[in-house]
Amino acid sequence: MPRAGLDPAAVVAAGAALADEVGLPHLTMGLLAERLGVRTPSLYKHVGGQEDLNRRIAALALGEAADAVGDAVRGWAGRDALAAAARTFRGFVLEHPGRYAATIGVEPSGPDDPVAVAGRRLLDAFTAVLRGYRIGEHDVDHALRTLRSLCHGFATLQAARGFRWSTDVDESFDWLIDFADRGLRAMENTPP
Amino acid sequence: MPRAGLDPAAVVAAGAALADEVGLPHLTMGLLAERLGVRTPSLYKHVGGQEDLNRRIAALALGEAADAVGDAVRGWAGRDALAAAARTFRGFVLEHPGRYAATIGVEPSGPDDPVAVAGRRLLDAFTAVLRGYRIGEHDVDHALRTLRSLCHGFATLQAARGFRWSTDVDESFDWLIDFADRGLRAMENTPP
DNA sequence: CAACCGAAGCTAACAAGATTAGCTTTTGGC
DNA sequence: GCCAAAAGCTAATCTTGTTAGCTTCGGTTG
């Protein structure tokens, strides 16, 4: 009987892919094992259990999102950068709803936790967008949280089919980008 | 042996309260039964199972949130109404994270599903806020989705301890309200 | 007032899923 | 070719959700 040749990274990657396919709540150790051509207990040679698997999927997702948003923003500034970041982020969540869902509610164990590191990289990518606006030093954290809330809120609501009536969702997202751009510019030059 | 005297509403109310206490993922039929002084299978006389319970908690939560936001907005307009709605909504989510979490991802079975009815009432409360801004008829849906994304995003991120660094979260939310107010006013008078 | 019947509860049993223990086998380095 | 560590497997346990079928309470009715 040939060996499957798994390692933690392969298990996590397959888990993330499967979560995207069937939805995080339906990601089960048995289903993942089947997908990998292995019996369930074998997975425990590579990951510590369901919670550990979830954390690793979360770190993977945050890292991928950070890469995607960072790449998309590079070379742009102001409204262009904002639009690129927002669209890329939403695209990532819609393409990978399962692994993104895994990021919600994970508590990093410390500053060196891969989840914390990747999360910080994603925030950095959004911070870069804000540099194109004259936000006062003291307001950058607020603006970052607000921008994150906007993108996270829209993307997760759409991924959960939360926008039910007929108006075109992509059009709404364009409107949102316009709204954010104008809102950020309206917040410029506020004294610290 | 005296009878417990349960009914579906009591089970759902206790389930919602318990979800708020221990977190929705830890709301278990056994724990709920224990809380109600009853054996687990007895719950099935009142609710159809875990999924049905979740739907009913969601409908309860959406109705309560709609009531709260609707009450808070009454008598106000413009920025005041926006601030009242946003603060009340966030307050509800932070006080009742478990039952609000139950609302995420429920698919109403039809327009008469209690979840759909309550959800519509909550949206109506936010729609009332937008009447204080001169948003073009054609843009109201977009503005509503954007406002919802903002409030939902911030509240759920905060409830999940997503804002980790030191800046004061309440201050950020005030900033967000200001941002939304200015953004909405910046979107006024856009031709349809 | 007693018989009755439906609802509310209970016990027992089963199914799914996560996890652990302990055994077997492959495989890479000597 | 040998051998230890790693990778996989089977068997078993534990927790949860759920169903079946029995029992009993409590209001209704003759």
Cα distance between residue A79 and residue B154, in whole Å: 22
Cα distance between residue B143 and residue B141, in whole Å: 5
**Average pLDDT value for residue range A100-116:** 96
Both tokens of residue A52? 């550990």
Sort out which chain B residues have CB atoms less than 8 A from A184's CB and list them. 179
Element (H, E) at A30: helix A29-35
Mean pLDDT computed over every residue of chain B = 95
Q: Is B152 on the interface with A (CB under 8 A)?
A: yes
Element (H, E) at A16: helix A8-22
**Average pLDDT value for residue range B5-28:** 97
Indicate the number of domains in chain B: 1
Task: With respect to residue A162, please indicate whether it lies within any of the assigned structural domains.
Answer: yes
Quick check: A94 and A149 in contact, CB under 8 A? no
Task: Tell me if residue A115 falls in helix, strand or coil.
Answer: helix
Q: Nearest nucleotide (C1') to the CA of residue A48?
A: C19
**Average pLDDT value for residue range B9-36:** 98
Per-residue model confidence as pLDDT tens digits over A121-161: 999 999 999 999 999 989 999 999 999 999 999 999 999 99
Partner-chain residue, chosen from A149, A175, A180, that has the shortest CB–CB distance to B157: A149
Would you list the DSSP string of chain B? Answer: -------HHHHHHHHHHHHHHH-GGG--HHHHHHHTTS-GGGGGGTSSSHHHHHHHHHHHHHHHHHHHHHHHHTT--HHHHHHHHHHHHHHHHHH-HHHHHHHTT---SSTTSHHHHHHHHHHHHHHHHHTTTT--GGGHHHHHHHHHHHHHHHHHHHHTT---SSS-HHHHHHHHHHHHHHHHHHTTT---
Neighbouring CB atoms inside 10 A of B188's CB total 11
Q: Is the CB of B50 under 7 A from strand C?
A: no
Task: With respect to residue A25, please indicate whether it lies within any of the assigned structural domains.
Answer: yes
Task: With respect to residue B131, please indicate whether it lies within any of the assigned structural domains.
Answer: yes
Taking an 8 Å cut-off on Cβ atoms, the answer to whether B182 and A186 are in contact is: yes
Quick check: B12 and B60 in contact, CB under 8 A? yes
Taking an 8 Å cut-off on Cβ atoms, the answer to whether A154 and B149 are in contact is: yes
Task: With respect to residue B166, please indicate whether it lies within any of the assigned structural domains.
Answer: yes
Cα distance between residue A58 and residue A52, in whole Å: 10
Task: With respect to residue B100, please indicate whether it lies within any of the assigned structural domains.
Answer: yes
Residue-number span of the structural domain to which A38 is assigned? 8-186
Element (H, E) at A124: helix A114-130
Q: What is the pLDDT of residue A11?
A: 98
Cα distance between residue B68 and residue B92, in whole Å: 8
| pLDDT interval class at B191 (50, 70, 90) | low
- Closest listed residue to residue B180, CA positions, set A88, A93, A142: A142
Q: Is the CB of A1 under 7 A from strand D?
A: yes
State whether the Cα torsion B144-B146-B150-B153 is positive or negative: positive
Q: What is the pLDDT of residue A1?
A: 58
Task: With respect to residue B122, please indicate whether it lies within any of the assigned structural domains.
Answer: yes
Q: What is the CATH number of the domain that holds B133?
A: 1.10.357.10
Task: With respect to residue B23, please indicate whether it lies within any of the assigned structural domains.
Answer: no
Q: Is the CB of A40 under 7 A from strand C?
A: yes
Cα distance between residue A47 and residue A16, in whole Å: 13
Residue with tokens 């709204």: A179
| pLDDT interval class at A191 (50, 70, 90) | low
Q: What is the pLDDT of residue B190?
A: 58
Q: What is the pLDDT of residue B5?
A: 84
Quick check: A110 and A116 in contact, CB under 8 A? yes
Task: With respect to residue A173, please indicate whether it lies within any of the assigned structural domains.
Answer: yes
Quick check: A58 and A96 in contact, CB under 8 A? no
Q: Is A156 on the interface with B (CB under 8 A)?
A: yes
**The one-letter amino acid at A68:** A
* Residue in chain A nearest B110 by alpha carbon: A164
